[in-house]
Amino acid sequence: MNTSQLAAVPPSIDPPFWRGLKWGDHLFAGLVLLAGGIAFGRYHALMDVYEQAILLAAVAGLIAFGWFWKPIRLFVPLCGLLALGGVALYGDDLARGQSAFWLKYVLASQSAVMWMCVLFFLAMLMYWVGLLRRSDTADAIGSWLTWAAAGAAMVWFFVRWREGYLIGADVGHVPVSNLYEVFILFCFITALMYLYYEQRFATRRMGAFVLLVVSAAVGFILWYTFDRQAHEIQPLIPALQSWWMKIHVPANFVGYGSFALAAMLGVAQLLSSYGVLASRLPSYDTLGEVMYKAIAVGFLFFTIATILGAMWAADAWGGYWSWDPKETWALIVWLNYAAWLHVRLVKGWRGNVLAWWAVIGLLVTTFAFLGVNMFLSGLHSYGSL
């Protein structure tokens, strides 16, 4: 082909992304828009302009997420239907939670979270059976149990939200306000992130390690429930009566979930490097790659959450930053993972040093989340054990 012929060939242009959407994508988007429209129609009078904007962003974000990751197109509608079933069974009478069979044993928030705990424990056991016995069947069962546990957590979220308003208009709030609620959010986010990487890298052999940290959180939830009665819905304290909470807390816990997932993969990578379970685990490089992607996502969301937290502080206390212990330790966490990403992307570091760093990073993050509230005092000293 000569020069004139080459010039006559039109350049290739990628078609717009919407040309690649299938009927399932459009159906999912329609369902989400319908649900969002119904929610807006029923509750817009109770929402300020910021909360309406959050609803709009949540609808758009969920549609985009469903287009990006196909399993969400089935997972979200199924969980939504179950949650709507629980809300409908309640009607306007909270006492029905003790008499209606499906509420009492399945769909009431406390029933749903108990199912979540059991399913996560079973999933962890099946993943370990699959890892130790090289059983694809056990791995598949572990994966399905993890999906079911995440579904129970999502049902819990919406039903508990409704239960709060059944107690009283001044009590109801989005359930991300205390340690009990955010630990369930942590389990949900970490599980979904793991399930994405499980599909993306076509391996279920990471689940045994990731479900360990989720199960540890489940153990805390059970202790906190039965020892401290933390599952009881309480009114929000004044410091948390803000629409900022609805976006700051979930963004934070995408970060926490990502860092926890990366740390457990760091443990797996370290064991593999010393020849422990090396033949059963994904390759050393695969574990490192998933760890890197998880930290990158977590760092992005933790950065967003930190910015949102500063804006919330300015709105509530008149200043963006006060060097409160919680803020200081959040900065330490941010700097830790910024340095981790820097040495990997710029300096080209790989291997065990980054795995150890990810594991130690989770300890730093855990202290920033729990330890500060337990041992230090400050403006954020409202979430204690």
- Domain boundaries of the chain, sorted by first residue: 97-194+207-234, 254-385
Structure tokens at 63: 């549609």
Do 113 and 186 form a contact (C-beta atoms < 8 A)?
A: no
> At 18, is the secondary structure helix, strand, or coil?
helix
Contacts of 21 (CB under 8 A, 6+ apart): 67
Q: How far is CA 366 from the centre of its chain?
A: 16
Q: Where are the alpha helices (DSSP H) in 229-283?
A: 245-273
| pTM above threshold 0.95 | no
User: What pLDDT score was predicted for residue 2?
Assistant: 53
Burial class (CB in 10 A: 0-12, 13-18, 19+), 260: buried
The domain 97-194+207-234 is placed in CATH, from the list 3.30.1370, 1.10.30, 1.20.120, 3.40.50, at: 1.20.120
Query: pLDDT of the chain along its 385 residues, tens only?
Result: 555 554 554 555 556 666 678 888 999 999 999 999 999 998 888 888 999 999 999 999 999 999 999 999 999 999 999 999 999 999 999 999 999 999 999 999 999 999 999 999 999 999 999 999 999 999 999 999 999 999 999 999 999 999 999 999 889 999 999 999 999 999 999 999 999 999 999 999 999 999 999 999 999 999 999 998 899 999 998 888 898 999 999 999 999 999 999 999 999 999 999 999 999 999 999 999 999 999 999 999 999 999 999 999 998 888 888 888 889 999 999 999 999 999 999 999 999 999 999 999 999 999 999 888 877 766 665 555 6
Q: For residues 103 and 96, is the Cβ–Cβ distance under 8 A?
A: yes
Residues in CB range of 183: below 8 A, 6 or more apart: 217, 220, 221, 224
CA dihedral for 205, 136, 78, 91, sign (positive or negative)? negative
Output phi, psi for 232, to 5 deg.
-70, 135
Q: What are phi and psi of 302, to 5 degrees?
A: -65, -35
Measured CA to CA, the distance from residue 300 to residue 252 in angstroms comes to: 10
Look at residue 238 in the predicted model and tell me its pLDDT. Answer: 84
Contacts 24+ apart (CB under 8 A), 46-49: 48/243
What pLDDT shows up at residue 361?
97
Tell me the chain's radius of gyration from C-alpha atoms. Answer: 22
Distance, in Å, from the CA atom of 165 to the CA atom of 43, rounded to the nearest integer, reads 12
pLDDT at 166: 95
DSSP 80-142: HHHHHHHHHHHTT-GGGGGTSHHIIIIISHHHHHHHHHHHHHHHHHHHHHHHHHT-HHHHHHH
